[in-house]
Chain A
Amino acid sequence: MPTALSISNLNKVYDGGLQALTDVSLEIRKGEIFALLGPNGAGKTTLISAVCGIVSPTSGSIKVNGNDAAKNFRAARAAIGLVPQEISTDMFEPVQSTVAFSRGLFGRAPDPKHIEKVLRQTALWEKRKDRIMTLSGGMKRRVMIAKALAHEPEILFLDEPTAGVDVELRRSMWDVVRELRRSGVTIILTTHYIEEAEEMADRIGVISNGKLIVVEDKTTLMQKLGRKRLSLQLQEHLEQLPGELETWPLELAGDGWELHYDFDANAEDSGVPALLNKISGLGISFKDLNTSQSSLEEIFVGLVNKN
């Protein structure tokens, strides 16, 4: 798949000496949805800002559609749309004119039909003449999305796009993002909602302390790093684990009515058959069992803590 964005050995040290990015290299494929996860202060926004031209990198290179972001900034920036984390727009402006302003700023000729399309897409058409200050928080956030889409970008950065947005609207936004992807737009999003990444992303990157620690296909990541849990619902209550089971990574839960066994789903020997034999041999019977996969959130927390 062709590359939309190529970042090589990117470093950013702020004036105060804070190293926000350390040797970050990343390739974003055309047409994919890439989710960048990381705790607060990990470097997500700095990375996006460096690509978009808001922050000057200390070293390294950024290429957008093969155009160097520093040397050929016009071509690079014209291809990018950015929805920033903060709602930053002139609150006294009417919705329609602020979206039209963004299109012009990015060098595109006025196109009222496209502006109308974007405003309809983001459910703002009815509010097009209203001043932004009169809109609700969710609507203001949609104005930011509409502004970013006004110049028909090929790559769209969404920095925490659904922060502070209600559940219904969040899901509607996900639909828009999926549609944009279907139309060929490459999407890079940062989010605190792991569910959002799990729901939408093709690939996931995890950044921590300015370092990109993992970049992987979502399904591969979940398979590779995912832990499985075997849960046994016991017939009889246990006060404590029998001594014979102390060497096993078991946890007694549910006030003694449940046994949890965590295992590596990809390991050649998961240990499940041996455990079941052992339990049976000890005369412990169970009425039900089930297995569950770790969520992306658990994987993410595990990765960040490990780092």
Chain B
Amino acid sequence: MTIHSNVTKPPPTQPVRFNRHGVWAIYKFEMARALRTLWQSFLAPVISTALYFVVFGSAIGSRMEAIDGTSYGSYIVPGLIMLSVLTQSVSNGSFSIFMPQFSGTIYELLSAPISAFEAVLAYVGAAATKSVVLGLIILGTASLIVPVEIQHPLWMLGFLVLTSVAFSLFGFILGIWGQTFEQLQFVPSLILTPLTFLGGSFYSIDMLPPFWRTVTLFNPVLYLISGFRWSFFGTSDLGVGWSLLMTSLFLLVCLAIVSWMFKTGYRLRS
């Protein structure tokens, strides 16, 4: 075997202020990975959510009372979209940074002329994109099974993007923190899913006894679902301002933690 030695003099390296090629390279790589694992990335969550709609929307939902004037099948659409978007955002965000650490390819990211902000922008941007696409696909699937109306489509999109970004960022933090696959799965399955189920995905908190209603107010996911549901039906358990505030606050806390992680090199650099 012969290696061809045909090398030209390297041009002087020009430093850049913003490594847009680097951001795009990571973003493209992550999106390509999602397409490569299409079944895991999109089809599996769509099928499982569609089953929820069939069971709770069409089968059981037809025997349930309307909530705030909305049929039960339609009422659970925003909550079920959020359930998938939250879990997939966390999963996408965490695996995007966990896998390079696990496989050792993180060396390339750490040795590249790319800032922490740019790396997070690329990884979280790709994770959030996948979640938004997934949310829209589930919305499309739901509209085939139950009647769906969206009163504030721009707000709906805004909440979807904001939630996807915030939870992809949260997943990114988990991905840096987690050292085993078990740790990665712990938060989504044992914390996030229960919080989503108990955060009003399938019911209005007005249906709860006063004590449990108060307890539910401490569940951050409630604010996400409530705001998202408002964008669909124009009514919600809580004011839309609260939903926006809590989601933005969560995003800012995640941003602060990620900044600290990159600044200190926490579990990234020895």
Say yes or no for B32: interface residue by CB 8 A criterion: yes
Contacts of A137 in B (CB 8 A): none
Do A56 and B3 touch across chains, with their CB atoms under 8 A apart? no
Contact B24 A80 (CB under 8 A): no
Across the interface, do A75 and B4 meet the contact criterion of CB distance under 8 Å? no
Are the C-beta atoms of B7 and A101 separated by less than 8 Å?
no
For residue A14, which residues in chain B have a CB less than 8 angstroms away from its CB?
270
Inter-chain CA distance A84–B10, complex, in Å, is 21
> A122: CB under 8 A from chain B?
yes
The chain A residue sitting closest to B103, CB to CB, is A88
B1 interface hit (Cβ, 8 Å): yes
A67 to B19 alpha-carbon distance, docked (Å): 18
In the complex, the answer to whether B104 meets A168 with C-beta atoms within 8 Å is no
Q: Is A183 a contact partner of B7 (Cβ separation < 8 A)?
A: yes
Chain B residues closer than 8 Å to A105, beta-carbon distance: 21-22, 25-26, 108-109, 112, 114
Task: Give the B interface residue count (CB, 8 A).
Answer: 42
The stretch of A171-179, A192-200, A216-224 that contacts the partner chain: A171-179
Given the known interface contacts A104-B22, A121-B5, A179-B7, the answer about A80 and B111 at a Cβ–Cβ threshold of 8 Å is: yes
Write the chain B residue with the least CB distance to A77: B113
Contact of A75 with B111 in the complex, beta carbons under 8 Å: no
Given A74-B113, A105-B109, A185–B22 Cβ distance below 8 Å? Answer: no
B51 CB–A CB distance under 8 Å: no
> In the complex, which residue of chain B has the Cβ closest to the Cβ of A67?
B15
Q: Which one, B7, B11, B16, contacts A180 given CB within 8 A?
A: B7
Judge if B29 is at the interface, Cβ distance under 8 Å.
Answer: yes
Interface residue? B110 (CB, 8 A): yes
Indicate if the CB atoms of A154 and B13 lie closer than 8 Å.
yes
A117: Cβ under 8 A from any B Cβ: yes
Does A109 contact B270, Cβ atoms closer than 8 Å? no
Interface flags for A128-172 (1: CB within 8 Å of B; 0: not) read: 000000000000001000010000111000000000000011001
Q: Would you call A53 an interface residue if the criterion is a C-beta within 8 Å of the partner chain's C-beta atoms?
A: yes
Task: Let me know if B63 is at the binding interface, CB within 8 A.
Answer: no
Question: Once the chains bind, are A109 and B21 in contact (CB under 8 Å)?
Answer: yes
* Given A90-B103, A152-B10, A184-B9: A121 and B4 interface contact (C-beta under 8 Å): yes
Of A15, A55, A172, which contacts B2 at CB under 8 A? A172
In Å, the complex CA distance between A69 and B13 comes to 14
Closest A residue by C-beta to B3: A172
Interface residues as binary, A221-263 with B (CB distance below 8 Å gives 1, 0 otherwise): 0000000000000000000000000000000000000000000
**What residues of A have a CB within 8 angstroms of the CB of B1 in the complex?**
123, 168-169, 172
Mark each residue of chain B from 148 to 185: 1 if its CB lies under 8 Å from any CB of chain A, else 0: 00000000000000000000000000000000000000
Complex Cα gap A183–B22 (Å): 26
- B22 near A120 with CB under 8 A, answer no
Cβ B7 vs Cβ A121 within 8 A: yes
Interface pair A55/B104, CB less than 8 Å apart: no
With both chains docked as a complex, state the minimum distance between the C-beta of A289 and any C-beta of chain B, in angstroms.
Answer: 42
Interface centre among B6, B12, B16, B21 (most CB of A within 10 A): B21
The answer to the question of B107 belonging to the interface, with a C-beta cut-off of 8 Å to chain A, is yes
Contact residues of B between 1 and 45, Cβ < 8 Å to A: 1-16, 19, 21-22, 24-26, 28-29, 32-33, 36
Say yes or no for B105: interface residue by CB 8 A criterion: yes
Bound Cα distance from A76 to B3, whole angstroms: 29
Look across to chain A and name the residue whose beta carbon is closest to the beta carbon of B112: A105
Q: Does any Cβ of A come within 8 Å of B265's Cβ? A: yes
Given A78-B15, A169-B3, residue A184 in contact with residue B105 (CB < 8 A): no
Given known contacts A78-B15, A108-B21, A54 and B107 CB-to-CB distance under 8 angstroms:
yes
Are A88 and B3 closer than 8 Å at their CB atoms? Answer: no
Is A123 a contact partner of B3 (Cβ separation < 8 A)?
yes
Given the known interface contacts A74-B15, A84-B107, A107-B21, the answer about A55 and B269 at a Cβ–Cβ threshold of 8 Å is: yes
| The 6 nearest A-B residue pairs measured at CB | A104-B25, A88-B104, A179-B5, A75-B15, A172-B3, A52-B111
A sample of 22 cross-chain residue pairs with beta-carbon separation below 8 angstroms, ordered by A number, consists of A49-B270, A55-B270, A56-B269, A67-B15, A74-B113, A77-B111, A77-B112, A78-B13, A78-B16, A84-B104, A88-B108, A90-B105, A105-B112, A107-B114, A121-B4, A123-B2, A153-B10, A172-B3, A179-B5, A179-B7, A184-B10, A185-B7
Given pairs A169-B1, A183-B7, 7 additional interface contacts (CB within 8 A)? A74-B113, A88-B104, A107-B19, A153-B13, A172-B1, A173-B3, A176-B3
